[in-house]
């Protein structure tokens, strides 16, 4: 045990059964970023999915808007220890986007405007577990929170929910993304506290 600072508790952590271990509850929506906020116009927005054989599927903003949307209320957990409960999002399920995509891939690399990347197992994007979200709390998703559209994968730490999403690359082999290259966990399950590699 490290030297303890008398009187210091930090924020109250893990006192709610909806809070994963080591997390504290926040009512705010903190903004964390690894780079400048991307301002992507709807006109220039294009979402792509690329399979392992190079086939590309693309959706313009209008095409994305035309897909059936869902409103979901979920808890989100950031690796920096804040959790936010009952957040309401609107977007398109990845089940819908990937319905006609033929692939043998087991992994996905998600790419963002601005260059950010994050890797996930493909099965974690399916079965009602992930969305491309463009609405938050009844409004358009604001740029600092990843608008016009971000990935939403609430069962994993929130760095997996890439802001400013632009593409999903399907891969046969796993490969680390932006933070996963620098010591963060490849999977990132908050309930198993998989923050760092080796956790």
User: Rule CB under 8 A: which of 93-132 touch another protein?
Assistant: 115
CB of 146: closest distance to another protein in angstroms? 11
> Cβ closer to another protein: 59 or 150?
150
CA 33, CA 30: separation in Å to the nearest integer?
10
Q: Which part of the chain contacts another protein (CB under 8 A), choosing from 8-16, 50-58, 101-109, 160-168?
A: 8-16
What string of DSSP letters covers 110-168? EEETTS-EEEEEGGGGSSSS-EEEEEETTEEPPGGGTTT-EEE-TTS-GGGS-TTEEEE
Answer for which of 40, 50, 64, 79 binds another protein (CB under 8 A) is: 79
**Cβ proximity of 81 and 23 under 8 Å:** yes
Minimum CB–partner distance for residue 86 and another protein (Å): 20
Q: Does residue number 138 form part of the binding site for another protein (CB under 8 A)? A: no
Nearer to another protein, 13 or 57 (CB): 13
Cα separation of the two ends of the chain: 19
Q: Residue 176, interface with another protein (CB under 8 A)?
A: no
Quick one: tokens of 73?
């209320």
DSSP assignments along 45-91, one per residue: -EEEEE-TT--EEEEEHHHHHHS--EEEEEEEE-TTSEEEEEEEEEE
Please report how close the Cβ of residue 195 comes to another protein at its closest, in angstroms.
8
Judged by CB under 8 A, the residue of 59, 131, 159, 164 near another protein is: 159
Contact 52, 171 (CB under 8 A): yes
The nearer residue to another protein, 115 or 128, going by C-beta atoms, is 115
Task: List beta partners, residue 58.
Answer: 48
Structure tokens at 199: 């956790």
44 binds another protein (CB under 8 A): no
Residue from 16, 18, 20, 34 in contact with another protein (CB under 8 A): 34
x/- letters, 46..75, toward another protein (CB under 8 A): ------------------------------
16 binds another protein (CB under 8 A): no
> Which residue among 167, 184, 190, 194 contacts another protein (CB under 8 A)?
184
């Amino acid at each position: 045990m490290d030297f303890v600072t008398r009187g210091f508790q930090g924020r109250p952590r893990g006192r709610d059964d909806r809070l994963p271990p080591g997390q504290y509850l926040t009512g705010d929506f903190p903004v964390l970023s690894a780079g400048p906020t991307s301002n992507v116009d709807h006109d220039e927005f294009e979402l792509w999915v690329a399979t392992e054989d190079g086939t590309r599927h693309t959706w313009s903003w209008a095409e994305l808007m035309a897909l059936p949307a869902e409103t979901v209320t979920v808890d989100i957990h950031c690796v920096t220890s804040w959790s936010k409960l009952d957040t309401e999002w609107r977007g398109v399920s990845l089940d819908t986007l990937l319905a006609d995509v033929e692939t043998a891939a087991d992994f996905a690399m998600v790419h963002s405007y601005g260059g950010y990347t994050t890797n996930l197992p493909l099965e974690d994007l399916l079965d009602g577990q992930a969305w491309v979200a463009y609405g938050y709390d009844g409004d358009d998703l604001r740029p600092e929170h990843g608008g016009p559209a971000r990935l939403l994968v609430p069962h994993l730490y929130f760095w997996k929910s890439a802001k400013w999403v632009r593409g999903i690359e399907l891969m046969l082999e796993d490969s680390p993304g932006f933070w996963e290259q620098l010591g963060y966990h490849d999977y990132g399950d908050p309930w198993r506290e998989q923050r760092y590699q080796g956790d």
